[in-house]
């Protein structure tokens, strides 16, 4: 052993892993968002849309979409050496909502991805996370040609609590998606640190 130095190798850091859901309506960009930021090749469970599903898969506004997630998307992003996020994209159609309860177990928080052309499609996701007290952030995916609205207009349209963060994002852009995920983590941590009101008040 050299003087003043140890031959022992530095023990690798065991990272904290956090789980975040990515939810929203059909065709809103959940698979794209996970793929844009994941440092591993995302696990995808997409199937081609079929004639049999045409009556229940509303493609109005997303006519170019020809696949759909039938279970989940999965990705991973390392924010720091000691902090790793696992991303789970939920299926958007009503008939796959039974999977949400399984995916939501142990989640730190969620992203509700919204499209201003079909804003009503994210109502169910907002309601789901509100009812289960899961912290969430709304991210408005800025599709080309879609109308742009101020954050407060989107907040009012979705009837969100004042503390719920609302951000504009491009689900294709890694930096934009990373900002959204950081906002989810910060919001969830702030919620965890907030004093709870006594029962019965």
Tell me the domain boundaries of the chain: 16-193
Q: Which CATH architecture has domain 16-193?
A: 3-Layer(aba) Sandwich (3.40)
Structure confidence by residue, pLDDT tens digits, 66-95: 555 445 789 999 878 888 999 999 886 666
Model pTM? 0.77
Q: What is the pLDDT of residue 113?
A: 97
In b/e form, how buried is each residue of 134-165, taking b as 16+ CB within 10 angstroms?
bbbbbbbbbbeeeeeeeeeebbeebebeeebb
Q: What is the pLDDT of residue 154?
A: 96
Q: What is the pLDDT of residue 132?
A: 95
Structure confidence by residue, pLDDT tens digits, 35-49: 999 998 877 654 554
Who has greater pLDDT, 19 or 99? 19
Q: How many CA atoms lie within 13 A of 60 on its CB side?
A: 8
């Amino acid at each position: 052993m050299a003087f003043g130095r140890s031959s022992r190798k530095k023990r690798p850091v065991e990272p904290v892993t956090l789980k975040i859901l990515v939810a929203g309506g059909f065709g809103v960009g959940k698979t794209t968002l996970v793929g844009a930021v994941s440092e591993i090749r995302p696990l995808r469970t997409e199937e081609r849309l079929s004639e049999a599903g045409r009556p229940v898969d509303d493609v109005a506004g997303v006519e170019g979409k020809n696949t759909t997630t039938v279970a989940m998307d999965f990705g991973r992003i390392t924010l720091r050496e000691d902090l790793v996020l696992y991303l789970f994209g939920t299926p958007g159609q009503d008939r796959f909502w039974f999977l949400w309860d399984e995916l939501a177990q142990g989640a730190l928080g969620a992203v509700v991805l919204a499209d201003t052309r079909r804003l009503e499609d994210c109502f169910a996701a907002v309601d789901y996370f509100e009812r289960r007290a899961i912290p969430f952030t709304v991210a408005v995916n800025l599709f080309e040609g879609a109308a742009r609205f101020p954050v407060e207009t989107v907040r009012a349209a979705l009837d969100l609590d004042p503390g719920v963060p609302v951000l504009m994002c491009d689900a294709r852009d890694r930096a934009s998606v990373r900002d959204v995920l950081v906002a989810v983590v910060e919001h969830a941590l702030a919620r965890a640190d907030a004093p709870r009101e006594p029962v019965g008040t």
